[in-house]
Amino acid sequence: MQVVEAGPAVAVRGLTKRFGSGPNVLEDVSLDVAEGEFLCILGASGCGKSTLLSLIADLDQPTSGSVEVLGGKPSLMFQEPALFPWLTAEENVQLALRLKGVSKAARRERAAELLALVRLKDAGKKRVHELSGGMRQRVAMARALAQDSHVLLMDEPFAALDAITRDVLHEELVRIRESQKLTVLFVTHNVREAVRLGDRVVLLSSRPGRVVKEYAVEIDQPRRIESPQVASLSVAITEDLRTEIRRHGGQS
Amino acid sequence: MTVQHDDLASLEAGLDALETSVVTGPSRGHRLWSATWPPLVFVALLVVAWQLVYNARVVEPYRLPSPGETLTALQDQWQSGDLGEAVWNSVSRGGLGFIASLLLGTVLGLVVGRVKPVRRAVGPILSGLQSLPSVAWVPAAILWFGTNSATIYFVVLLGAVPSIANGMISGLDQVPPLFMRVGRVLGARGLASARHVLLPAALPGYVGGLRQGWAFSWRSLMAAELVARTPELGLGVGQLLDLSRQNADIAGVIAGVFTILVIGIAIELCLFAPLERTVLRRRGLLASSL
């Protein structure tokens, strides 16, 4: 568990979102993410996980409620790496710096540092299509880190990867988060992934998305996804998640 | 901890190596050769067949010249200086017309592609214009401008601008919305977003439009030159072709058709095909790029 410091890094207050005249996608969601905390948001389809991140990233406006992010703009990673195919790996990272107004020489240096951090020192000149899925997602991570924001939002970033690669990237993320002292808000529908990574797991209900329950994950890092501690907490959370899902079948 | 991290580093290096396929394609020269010889063989066969038909006298010689006679006609046109002059005039007209179409078509495409009300009003008409052969404008243009360069350029522009604009529009339409979101997350707004995200993402469709735009300018130019023939316009390839027809010089006519075809193919092969290939290969959109 991280020590909770003064103000939260992300403060979500009474957030409600609906699109047009549709039903509420999110309803009265309130969350605090402490500085340096790794918070996983867990939920089935339709719980508005991605909408929540879009609102926090200021890509969309809430119907009501407020979002505050320490240090301004958070960085955001998607399920797809969404690297620009007309640029090389290092140019993708440099673009993030360029849009922040970093000078050319400093851009080069910083991009090389970040690629080294995600262990892609020698892949900088490669084009996106020459990289594997895992490597692309690491370049995307380097690009997100280039924004130099306190808070990293991640929208199921590993969902499209194979299990072995995902496992390695979990380890990689935990290492980078520690070395960069990041606050991470990580959205997933994978219970074990949430327990593997998070200091805390928040379970959202579906349609509308509401905070149902919170779990503190008191397991020391480095954790392994197949460890018994991760498994036993995952079983408990999965039970609650299933109960949540059953409500929508109209039989409970 | 360090031991563990070294462990992870080597694991990751192994995974990266396994998942990155290193396929070295055939060399550039080899690829060029294998792309060149099949069409050459086919053309050679066509010439042989042509010669055989000629020998068999199925068609009277004044309707079908032999390959040799056509070549001689081409040589004569060259030696008289007509061919050189005509090619220069036509290519420079075509090039100038294309550059003007490029500027107009790009701006038009950007406006129609990005401004919704304009899109709704102008979009359907712009794609409709593509199916109108621009040579249909020649009579009107002659009445408006007289038989001069203005008529020629007018027809070339009407042929090429819709293609280029439509290429730009479809390029813009194909930009994945996710790219625009990523651009916003990275802090790209307004002009920066257009320059760093929107325009590069739209490039493949745009280049396709340019290629088609060139084909349309060349076609329209030839059509216009065939119809509009006055001394003040000078000699273009189309005029040269029509001159041969007036002289009932079938070898000269066939030579003219070949000249038009060869110029069209040469510009396509030397300019637009490599441009498109480069854009697509960089993005991994060509099979041979692996």
Q: For chain A, 252 residues long, give each residue's pLDDT as a single digit of tens.
A: 444 456 789 999 999 998 888 888 898 999 999 999 999 999 887 778 889 999 999 889 999 999 999 887 899 999 999 999 999 999 999 999 999 999 999 999 999 999 998 889 888 999 998 899 889 999 999 999 999 888 999 999 998 888 888 998 999 899 999 988 899 999 999 999 999 999 999 999 888 888 888 988 888 878 888 888 888 899 999 998 888 888 877 654
* Residues 6 or more apart whose Cβ sits within 8 Å of residue A192: A225, A230, A231, A234
Predicted pLDDT of residue B118: 92
Instruction: Show residues of chain A in contact with B178, CB under 8 Å.
Output: 78, 80, 82
Predicted pLDDT of residue A6: 62
Under 8 Å between Cβ of B88 and B236: no
| Burial of residue B169 (number of CB atoms within 10 Å: 0-12, 13-18, 19+) | buried
Say if strands A151-155 and A211-216 run parallel, antiparallel, or are unpaired.
Answer: unpaired
- Closest chain B CA to residue A149: B186
Predicted pLDDT of residue A4: 45
d(CA B155, CA B137): 6
Instruction: Show the low-confidence residues of chain B (pLDDT under 70).
Output: 1-5, 21-25, 287-290
Instruction: Show residues of chain A in contact with B179, CB under 8 Å.
Output: 82, 84
Torsion of CA B38, B41, B43, B47, to 10 degrees: -170
- Closest chain B CA to residue A125: B282
Q: Give the pair of three-digit tokens for residue B285.
A: 């959109």
Angle at CA of residue A197, ends A70 and B3, nearest 5°? 110
Identity at B104, one-letter amino acid code: L
Q: Give the pair of three-digit tokens for residue B129.
A: 């214009």
Question: Testing the interface with A: which of B19, B22, B182 to mutate, by most A Cβ within 10 A?
Answer: B182
Nearest Cα neighbor of B242 from B222, B262, B226 is B226
Predicted pLDDT of residue B178: 93
* Residues 6 or more apart whose Cβ sits within 8 Å of residue B68: none
Predicted pLDDT of residue B23: 63
Instruction: Show residues of chain A in contact with B198, CB under 8 Å.
Output: none
d(CA B194, CA B211): 23
Instruction: Show residues of chain A in contact with B4, CB under 8 Å.
Output: 222
With residue B53 as reference, give the H or E element that holds it: helix B28-56
Question: Testing the interface with B: which of A51, A55, A98, A99 to mutate, by most B Cβ within 10 A?
Answer: A99
Which residue in this structure is represented by tokens 């320059």?
B195
Under 8 Å between Cβ of A169 and A161: yes
Question: Testing the interface with B: which of A161, A171, A177, A223 to mutate, by most B Cβ within 10 A?
Answer: A171
A36 backbone φψ class: left, alpha, beta (φ>0; ψ -120 to 50): left
Say yes or no for a CB contact (<8 Å) between B179 and A98: no
φ/ψ of residue A174, rounded to 5: -60, -40
Query: ipTM of the assembly?
Result: 0.86
Nearest Cα neighbor of B162 from B198, B201, B123, B126 is B126
Predicted pLDDT of residue B227: 85
Under 8 Å between Cβ of A238 and A43: no
> Considering only CB atoms, which residues of chain B are within 8 Å of chain A?
4-5, 8-9, 11-13, 15-16, 19-20, 176, 178-179, 181-182, 184-188, 192, 196-197, 200-201, 203, 282-285, 289
Which residue in this structure is represented by tokens 């280029």?
B164
Nearest-Cα distance to chain A for B169, in Å, is 19
Q: Give the pair of three-digit tokens for residue A250.
A: 């109209």
- Closest chain B CA to residue A55: B185
pLDDT digits (tens, 9 = 90+) for A35-87: 999 999 998 877 788 899 999 998 899 999 999 998 878 999 999 999 999 99
